A and B are shown apart, each in its own frame.
Chain A
Amino acid sequence: MIAFTDIVGMDLAKKALMLLAIDPALGGVVIPSAVGSGKSTLARAFAGILPEGTPFVELPLNVTEDRLIGGVDLEATLASGVRVVQHGVLSKADGGVLYVDSLSLLDSSAISHIMDAMSRGEVLVEREGLSEVHPADFMLVGTYDPTDGEVRMGLLDRIGIIVPFTAQNDYRARKEVVNIVTGSRDPEDVRDELRMMAGFLDAAREMLPKVGITPEQVQALIQTAISLGVEGNRVDVFTVRAALASAALNQRSDVDDEDMKLAIKLVLIPRATRMPEREESAEDMPPPEEEPPPPDEESEEEDDSQQPDSPDADAEEEQEETPDMIEELMMEAIETELPDNILNISLASKKKSTSGSRGEALNNKRGRFVRAQPGEMRSGKVALIPTLISAAPWQEARKRDQKMAGRQKTALLISKDDVKIKRFRDKSGTLFIFMVDASGSMALNRMRQAKGAVASLLQNAYVHRDQVALISFRGKQAQVLLPPSQSVDRAKRELDVLPTGGGTPLASALYLGWETAKQARTKGITQVMFVLITDGRGNIGLQSSFDPNAEKPSKEELEKEIEALSLSIQADGVAATVIDTQMNYLSRGEAPKLAQHLGGRYLYLPNAKAEQIVDAALSF
């Protein structure tokens, strides 16, 4: 096992974990990082710097509900005749660390349970006749690869520290990691280093209650949270705690500027939804393609999963009067710590998903077995073991009844009530991906139709467990405006401002839609339906979408590209509907052809109303 002190690079992540070790009330640390950056090694090494005996529990991704929450240990119960309770993973982590690798792939019901436990500090077990409260006061350490998708915001809200995304370790660090792995270090040295680190943290923990923070400093931190558009008030407490822990780490009894900056960097900036307003540099957002040169630590990451929440709409809320000096300092911190595309640093990048194989593997299973639940024998797959388990305790009582009723003796008495059906987390809902042509003169109209259709589909989405995503294409590249979602509120907010005009990168839209579909499948969506609102005439090639200097393809090449993409998408089992809302004086039949290649339907609906589009999508 590699020791914490051995890990080179990832200094910010290390610091974050040290702050957590000093003040567990920070709730946890999330480390988004690319594959192979050593993030999980670091997280596991974290156990080594905690006080001896602190639990460190790793949560398997395929954990079932009863393993997570706890329940009756039937084997032991039957053997002893007294109910024996088994604690769940959440409770086993009490007083220590719960570690999740690939946090973004964790099942949404598991996330809900973790969130619930974190907000209570305990687990309520109300299962299978058991009603207990188990302590579950843990720190959550999570690592994930942003290309796998985003982590639910509700969970992130309960975790104090989010380490800014690190794309790659520098060369030096990698080399040293290799050295360590090959065992070139003296174990004696390692032990001493760890011991020193432990002493260091002990001292910091002792210091922590003595650290002071001035009301002005608290106010400045809150001001910063507001100007960054951070949602919720819980985060204020985390920011203050992080600043205090940082001071304690440095054996200072007062919070200083560096502590404040670190707190802003680790707690607030990753949750920013808008650029703080400043006289001169108000709102010039660079296009996402421009990546700043990666400095060694917190570097860039394109694209945002959070709300590109119409920055101008609520930016002008109140520009406030705080102690000027501190505010100035905070602005400085934000500006220097941040690459200038703040809204594009993200916890998740949805640009590409390289995890195709994993997605498919999960797919074959048709959802994941989550729990057994009472049900009719014929209504699903019978869960044999849980059925036998639930029948077991009644055998004595039933045999007595049987004897009294004078019925014939049988070895095993199973009644209808015992039958448990397997329940899979198989959302089985459909993901509707709207792809709207936002180029050209009729774009505004199409956008309005699409928005209406999205909102209206979502109104009923709950019933069918459906999700809706919206991709717009214009200019050079298609863009996901609304990632797969079930929330009407979110859709309304994110679709507030829809830019239109420019070229028609149809191929890019198909590609992005396909990627979105693949990603959704890893999360249990089984059916995907493309709803394309376009005249089917693309004029920007896929190459040009990624590389502005690419040679402009000929019309034939463009057609070929779209045909090839469409056929692959069809082969992948994605359903499609192409809706042409254009007056077709000029149509050369591109839209019907597109529908044909996609194996979908073509509908010609000039001036379609939102409801018509919804009907078309649903009536497949």
Chain B
Amino acid sequence: MTQTESSARKPAAKKPVARKTTAAKAGSSVAKAAPAKAAAASAKKKSGLAFPFTAIVGQEEMKLSLILNIIDPRIGGVLVMGHRGTGKSTTVRALAEVLPMIDRVKDDIYNRTTEQYLEGEADKKGAVKIDPASVKLEKIPVPVVDLPLGATEDRVCGTIDIEQALTSGVKAFEPGLLAQANRGFLYIDEVNLLDDHLVDVLLDVAASGKNVVEREGISIRHPARFVLVGSGNPEEGELRPQLLDRFGLHARIITINDVAKRVDIVKRRRDFDEDPEAFMKKFNNEQVKLQKKIQKAKTLLPSVSMSDEVLTDIAKLCMNLGIDGHRGELTITRTAHAHAAFMGQKEVTMKHVKDVAGLCLRHRLRKDPLETLDAGEKIERELAKVLGEAEAV
């Protein structure tokens, strides 16, 4: 996360500067404070290392939905809701390490592709035609950007660089989190607690794929397409329906009640806290393996196909569940494709559909306050019906 973010940020190495400020502040008493500090530091991920994705025990539904979104970002992101202390944010933050690399225009603050770059530059006032061949590219890891609850709107959308204005009186645009997240992941922990005005901004940008900022007579417009990942505990508050609808997938996560698994979780956590580097090394092979598998699936995806029969069954399923609009069908189709690709298969079958139906549809069912049946069960019931019919034919 750290590495991806700082590489996406234009004015180099702001974070290290910030860290230094703190050290200086505490300087006078630093020697004596060392024991407490050291103890605290060893406990948390002060090392800057995130807990490895492949070391996370259980919670397969969440892991799968994140992976499928890497394989096909058009799935539309994932909302992870569930119990406290079940590793939601740990998992999302671990994602960065297994993400593939992408090409972007060299040093571009918006992570643009050549096409996006050319289009953007052509829109500018007094634009000169740029020769596509002259555009230099560089490889960066897919960015994962963390949007904290306390973020202000100008930092999310971007604003005029205050420092430059002060020192040189120049108005320069300073890109916000949306710019950094272009072509990557935007993660919001406790998304159900996000301030209304930020939700408005997100909905707007997610719908158009563009971010527009007008300030101090400067008008900036840049692409902002990202995979939206949110997590939260439903007991702390409900999510706004429009925002809920934006998420392609909805993963549920509950407390693991298997003792052996829980012992394993504790053990891994302690090993990691004790020596993060050694722990990372231990899981390095698996991390690399997963990364390769994802990359392979991405390559395979365009050649994955789906028969009309499967498509019909999907349509039937959505109809029987009374899902409005076509976003349900579309999501399920894309997700099943990505799932097939991840399994290394070129043909989408009903098994793939079955695996992802709950993820895709759970949050799209019409809500009935007196319904006692859980959304997942309802989907499974309808799925069984459709499958039964298919077999009977």
Contacts and interface: CB of A to CB of B under 8 A. Distances in A.
Interface in B78-93: 83-87, 89
Contacts of B25: 87
B163 A231 contact: no
B363 interface: no
B15 A132 contact: yes
Size category of the binding interface on chain A? 35 or more
Contacts of B267: 218
Q: Specify the main secondary structure of chain B where it touches its partner.
A: helix
A131 B14 contact: yes
A22 B159 CA distance: 45
Interface in B3-19: 9, 14-15, 17-19
Contacts of B62: none
B313 interface: no
A129 B154 contact: yes
B46 interface: yes
A250 interface: no
A396 B169 contact: yes
A226 B17 CA distance: 45
Interface in A232-271: 232-237, 240
A78 B165 CA distance: 11
Interface stretch (A116-124, A438-446, A552-560): A116-124
Interface string A152-188: 1110011000000000000000000000000000000
Contact of A463 (B36, B85, B86, B240): B240
A123 B150 CA distance: 10
Interface stretch (A281-289, A450-458, A561-569): A450-458
Contact of B369 (A50, A154, A610): A610
B46 A135 contact: yes
Interface string A91-129: 100111000000000001100110110011101111111
A83 B163 contact: yes
Which of B21, B39, B170 has the largest number of chain A CB atoms within 10 A?
B39
A23 B43 contact: yes
B154 A487 contact: no
Given A131-B14, A231-B83, A487-B235, A394 B148 contact: no
Interface string B39-74: 111111110000000000000000000000000000
Interface stretch (A11-19, A314-322, A511-519, A590-598): A314-322
Interface stretch (A51-59, A350-358, A359-367): A51-59
A393 interface: yes
Nearest to B2: A133
Contact of A455 (B169, B171, B257, B370): B370
Given A81-B167, A129-B174, A396-B169, A373 B152 contact: yes
A226 B257 contact: yes
Contacts of A25: 39-40, 42-44, 273
B36 A137 contact: no
Contacts of A82: 163, 166-167
B234 A487 contact: yes
A78 B163 CA distance: 10
Given A85-B21, A415-B216, 14 more contacts: A83-B166, A95-B40, A109-B193, A113-B150, A116-B190, A124-B151, A126-B147, A129-B155, A135-B19, A135-B22, A137-B46, A153-B236, A218-B266, A232-B83
Q: Which 10 A-B pairs have the closest CB atoms?
A: A232-B85, A25-B43, A234-B85, A53-B29, A455-B369, A121-B44, A132-B18, A126-B151, A53-B33, A53-B32
30 contacts: A24-B36, A52-B29, A54-B37, A82-B166, A83-B162, A87-B21, A94-B26, A116-B148, A116-B149, A119-B89, A119-B189, A126-B148, A127-B151, A131-B177, A132-B18, A134-B22, A138-B40, A152-B236, A154-B84, A202-B35, A225-B262, A232-B84, A233-B256, A237-B269, A374-B153, A374-B154, A393-B165, A397-B170, A417-B216, A610-B370
Interface of B: 2, 9, 14-15, 17-19, 21-22, 25-26, 29-37, 39-46, 83-87, 89, 146-156, 159-163, 165-167, 169-171, 174, 177, 189-190, 193, 197, 215-217, 233-241, 255-257, 259, 262-263, 265-267, 269-270, 273, 367, 369-370
